[in-house]
Amino acid sequence: MRSKGYDIKDHRELRRFIEENLFAVWMQGAMDLATRSNEPYHQRGMARMAESLNYRSGADFMDWLYDGEGKMRTFVTNEFFRDGSPYESTGGYNGMHVVAMGPIIESIEHLRKLRPDTYPDDKYPNLTRSRRYHSVFDYSMDTINIDRTYSRIGDDGAHPRYAKRGKRVWQNGGAAAFEHAYGIFKDPKFAWALANTPGWSPSLEFPYSREEVEAAAAKWPAEWNDASCLKDGYGVAMLRSGKDDNKRSFWMMYGRPRGHTHDDMLHIGLDAYASEILGHLGYPRNWSAWEGNWITQINARQVPFVSMTATPQLFADAGPVHVAEAFAQPFEDRVGSGEGYRVPEDNWQRRLIATVDVSDESFYCIDLYRIFGGKEHWWSLHAQEGEVSTQGLQLASQKTGTLAGADVPYGDEKWLKESGCKKSNYGWRGPMFGFPHLYNVERANPAGVWSADWALEDSDGLHFRLTGVDSDRAEVVLCDGKSPSGGSPYEMKWVLLHREGAMPVQSRFLNVMELYRGEPVLKTVRALSIKPPNDGNTTAVACVVELSSGRIDTIFLAPDAGALCIADGGFRFSGRFGLHSLEKDGRERFALIGGTELTRNGKGIKQESGEYRGEIKEVDRATETITVAPAPANSGALVGKYIFITNPNRRLAYKVLEAEKTTSGIRLRLEYDSKVGTGKVSGHADYRVTSATPFRLRGYRYYHGARLVNAAGTAEYRIHGIDGAAFIDAERHPTATTAKLREEFPIDTWFGVYDYGVGDEVVLPLTAVVRW
C-alpha cells in the first residue's frame, strides 16, 4: 500500500483503510440501492456485510435492513402469500426468496448473539417466529407432484416433452435452505426432505449428523404428499392419485403472482407416467412475448380481453373422483380513490377439472370450461411434439396465411399493430400476438363427439388423447406452432375452439383427456341429455364414458347444487359433481360431491344437505383457531378437508388440521398464518388508516374483504383493500371516523391485516361414496 502512495503504518491502519474505502463505500451504495438485485439478495448482501464488520454502532445497518429499503420487518408477512409462496414465477425466481432468506436470518441472529445490547429482540424481532415462515418451506415441498415435478407457472423451464424425471423433494431452495429450516423448527418433515435428497450429506455448519436427521425423518410418513393439495395463496389446485410410478397430478392455476408472470388465468397442467405431460412453453426465449401469451397456455379467453382474478369454488376427493373448480371475474381497482373494487358481472370464466381413477395404472380427466361475455371465445390446448390424428372432424385446410386469417402472413407486423399489439425493444406483444404465429391452419365444424390423439415423441409409445364431448357448436381449429424467437427447439400441434356471436356470448366446453400405451383407456364417450323433471332448462351437463375394461361411467356436473335433474337410464342428480360406475358384473358405485342426490332407478345416494355451513363465532389468532357454529354431526370428518371461508367480497380455502367440539360449536385449527399484512400507522382520515409500509401483494383483490386490526387487538374493521392506506368498508362501519381511528390506531403503531374474522361464513361441500 505504501508503494501506491498510502501512508499506512500498521495493520490497524490497513484495516481501517479497507473498512472506510471499500466496505463503507459498499455499505453506503447498498443502502442507496446501488446494489439492488432480485429480492432478497441485496438484503442478504447487507446482512452479511454487517455481520462481517460487526460494528458497535451497527444499528444503522439493522435499521435499514428492518425498516428502511430492506423491509425485512414486513418481508415474510407482506411479500409471501398466505400459503408461504413467494410472489414470482415458480422454480428459480421464487427459489431466490427461499434461498436468500435463511442467510439473512442467520446473519441477524449471529449479530444478536455477538452484540445483544445493540440488537435487542424487542427492537429487531426474530423473523422466524411466524407460522408463515414455516409455510415458506412447506410450500416448496407440498407443491411437488408425482415425486418428480411441480406445477410450472410463469417464467420457468421449457416446453413440455416426455422424459422420466428423477425424484425430488422440494421445488426450490436447496439443501442449505432446508438445513436452515430444520435447524430452526426441528420438524421431521424437513428432516425427511434432507434424508431423501440423493447425495446429501450435512454441511460443515450444520450441527446434526446424517444419522440424527434420518432418525427424525423416520417419524414422517413416506406417503405424506400423495393426497390432493390446494394452495390458496399462490392459487394452484393439484388433484393427485396413484402410487409409485403410477402417480398422477392434474392441476389448475387460478392465482395472480406478481413477478415474471404469464397470461395464465385458469391454465391447466398434467403430470403422469413419471413426466410432465401438459404444461406451458416455459421461459421467454430472447424475451419474446410468445411464451407468456395466453394462447401458449392451456386456457381460454373472451374478446375483448379482460383482466380477471379467481377464487376456489370446489376442492374435494370422493373415492375414485378428485375435483377442483375456480371462478374468475373481471375487476376494476378503485381502492386508492376510496371506492374499493368494482366487479362487473358481464364477463366471467368458470373451470372445473376432475380426475377419475380407473385402476392403479389408469385414469382419465374431465375438463368443463364455461365462459360468459364478449363477442368471441377462444379455447386453446397444445400437448407435446408428436404426430396427431383426429376422429370426428372433417378438416378443411386453409391453404395460406395463419390463424389471424388466410391473407395474414406469419408474424405480420401490420396486422399486429392494427390488432392492438405494441412493439417494444423485445418485439411485439399483446393479447392478439399469438394469432399470426400459428400456421398450417385446418378448420372443422363437428356434428358430435370428436377427438385428437397425440403420439408423444420419444415416449415409448405413450399417447395423449383429447375427446371433445360437448363443444357447444364451436369451430375446431388445428394449427402448428413454434417459438418465433431464439431458434425454436420445437414445432407442435395446437387445438383451438372458437365461438363468436352477439354479446354476451356464452360457451360451455366439455372435454375428456386420457393417457395410454397400447389400448386406449376409453372406448367411447358421448354426451348425455339431462333436464329438470318439469322439462325446463338446466346448467348441468352429463356424459357417458365407456371404458375399454367394460366399465361404464356416467358423469354429472353443475355450477351449483340447487336444481334436481333427470337423465336417461333412471338417473336423478342434484349436486356439483356426480359419478356412477357400472362394472361388467353389475356392481355399482356412486360418488357425489356437494349435492343431495345421485340415484339410478331409486338406488344410490340421498342426503339432506350437500354442504355444511356455519358462522365464525370466535377467532384465536395466536393459535390459528376458529370456533364455528353450528357444529357438524361428525366433527372428525373435517380434519384434512379444505373449508371455504367467505364473506360478500372474499372466498378463501384453508385446510383443517384439528377439529374439536365445544359447548359453543366446533373449534378448528387451520393450516396457514391468517395474518396476511402488516403496516406502520402514519395517519388517518375518515374510513382509512394510512401507512407508508410497502404491501407487495396489494391489488388483484388480495385484501378485498379482509380484516384490519389495531396493535392493541381492540378494534377490527372489514376493508375494501390497501393502496397507501387500509380503506375501511364505510357501509359496514359508518362510525370509522378520523377521530375514532386516531384513538384506535396511534401513529407509529403497527396494524395487522387478517384473512377472516367473526361473522364470516364457513362452507364445506360434502362428499359421499357408496357401493352396491
Give the CA distances from residue 635 to residues 610, 656, 672, 694, in Å, rounded to whole numbers and listed in that order.
16, 11, 20, 40
- Whether the full predicted model's pTM is greater than 0.95, yes or no, is yes
Number of H helices, E strands in the chain: 12, 48
Confidence of residue 749 (pLDDT cuts 50, 70, 90): very high
Confidence of residue 7 (pLDDT cuts 50, 70, 90): confident
Residue 500 scores a pLDDT above 80: yes
- Mean pLDDT for 355-379 is 98
CATH of domain 611-672+762-771: 2.40.10
Residues 6+ apart with CB under 8 A from 659: 635, 636, 638, 639, 666, 667, 668, 669
When the pLDDT of each residue in the chain is averaged and rounded to a whole number, the result is 97
Q: Which H, E and C letters describe 290-318, residue by residue?
A: CCCCHHHCCCEEEECCCCEEEEEEEEEEE
Confidence of residue 532 (pLDDT cuts 50, 70, 90): very high
- 666: exposed, middle or buried (C-beta count within 10 Å: 0-12, 13-18, 19+)? buried
Confidence of residue 535 (pLDDT cuts 50, 70, 90): confident
Predicted pLDDT of residue 3: 80
Residue 329 scores a pLDDT above 90: yes
- 387: exposed, middle or buried (C-beta count within 10 Å: 0-12, 13-18, 19+)? exposed
Q: Is 419 left (phi over 0), alpha (psi -120 to 50) or beta?
A: alpha
Residue 401 CA to residue 477 CA, distance in Å, equals: 14
- Tens digit of each residue's pLDDT (9 = 90 or more) over 48-96: 999 999 998 889 999 999 999 999 999 999 999 999 999 999 999 999 9
Percent share of the chain, pLDDT over 70: 100
Predicted pLDDT of residue 503: 96
Residue 4 scores a pLDDT above 90: no
Predicted pLDDT of residue 11: 87
Instruction: Find the helix or strand (DSSP H, E) in which 103 lies.
Output: helix 92-114
Interhelix angle for 41-53 vs 59-67, to 10°?
A: 160
Options 2.20.25, 2.20.130, 2.60.40, 2.40.30; CATH for 538-607 is 2.20.25
Residue 735 CA to residue 729 CA, distance in Å, equals: 10
Confidence of residue 694 (pLDDT cuts 50, 70, 90): very high
Residue 1 scores a pLDDT above 80: no
Q: DSSP letters along 447-479, please?
A: SS-EEEEEEETTSSSEEEEEEEEE-TTPEEEEE
Which sequence spans correspond to the domains of the chain?
538-607, 611-672+762-771, 675-754
Q: Which three cell numbers stand for residue 570?
A: 333412471
Least confident stretch, 282-291, 304-313, 573-582:
282-291
- Tens digit of each residue's pLDDT (9 = 90 or more) over 290-303: 999 999 999 999 99
Confidence of residue 656 (pLDDT cuts 50, 70, 90): very high
Residue 707 scores a pLDDT above 90: yes
- Identify the CA nearest to 696 among candidates 723, 674, 726: 723
Q: In 3-state terms, the chain is what percent helix, strand and coil (to 5)? A: 20, 35, 45
Residue 723 CB: number of other CB atoms within 10 A?
18
Q: Name the amino acid, one letter, at 381.
A: L
Residue in this structure with the C-alpha cell 403472482, named with its chain if needed: 257
Predicted pLDDT of residue 20: 86
CB of 196 closer than 8 Å to CB of 210: no
Residue 376 scores a pLDDT above 80: yes
Residue 536 scores a pLDDT above 80: no
Instruction: Find the helix or strand (DSSP H, E) in which 59 lies.
Output: helix 59-67
Percent share of the chain, pLDDT over 90: 93
Residue 534 CA to residue 566 CA, distance in Å, equals: 10
Residue 8 scores a pLDDT above 90: no
- Mean pLDDT for 369-388 is 98
